[in-house]
Amino acid sequence: MKIKKIFIHIGALTAVHIAAIAFTMSLLPWGALAGAVEVSMGFSYNQTRYSETSYSWTRRWGGSFGYHLTEKTEIELAFQDVFDRSLITGYEDTTFHDQIYSANWVQALTSKSVPIQPYFKVGIGQLNREAHGTYASGASPPAIMDSLTGIVGGGMRIYFTRTFAIRSELTSYMTGGSIRTYKDNTAVSFGLSLSF
């Protein structure tokens, strides 16, 4: 519970700083799209069947709210909800439910006047995981894990208009902020993006 309180304080302080920076930046002449708001949402699902009684599936959905400091620079608040189910007869019967809250700096490499806009992002977040089940050895995964998480990712927006795009993204959630865990929690998502 102390970790959650610390994260809430860090999150509130981060939100105040982001708001102050965004307000200050909006006063400067950064171009036509500074101050624009972007709302994105995405979904992914995958399933693997190993046999009649063994399978694995993952469902992921998420959304984000971004504020553009400039045409290429955005501050993003994001949420991901991930549900993972694995049943491999005789070896594993587990369920993981992750919720990830994050604040990210998103830097586009081109402007929105170019139809394809690659970008990268870095940020910090909170991973809340609930797990149930057992492994072949009889061991169980930790029932609850709350961890501060570093975030790195990259993606691409393909604009159909200056305000509507499809979006694909590869993101790594580094548990405990350790670069060594970049392979442990990776996600590919596809979705839509609207700017106002």
E-strand ranges in the chain read 37-49, 55-68, 73-88, 92-108, 116-135, 144-159, 164-175, 186-195
Could you tell me the pLDDT band of residue 33, with boundaries at 50, 70 and 90? Answer: low
What is the pLDDT at residue 58? 94
Query: What's the pLDDT tens digit per position in 84-109?
Result: 999 999 899 999 999 999 999 999 99
Mean pLDDT of 126-138: 92
Q: Give CA–CA dist 19/192, Å, rounded.
A: 25
Flag whether the pTM goes above 0.75: yes
Residue 26, pLDDT above cutoff 60 = no
DSSP assignment letter at 151: E
Top pLDDT among 180 and 12 is at 180
C-beta of residue 81 within 8 angstroms of C-beta of residue 61: yes
Mean pLDDT of 11-36: 54
What is the pLDDT at residue 30? 43
- Specify which residues 85 forms β-bridges with: 57, 95
What is the pLDDT at residue 184? 83
C-beta of residue 58 within 8 angstroms of C-beta of residue 82: yes
Residue 78, pLDDT above cutoff 80 = yes
Q: Which domains does the chain have, with CATH numbers?
A: 2-195 (2.40.160.20)
Residue 151, pLDDT above cutoff 90 = yes
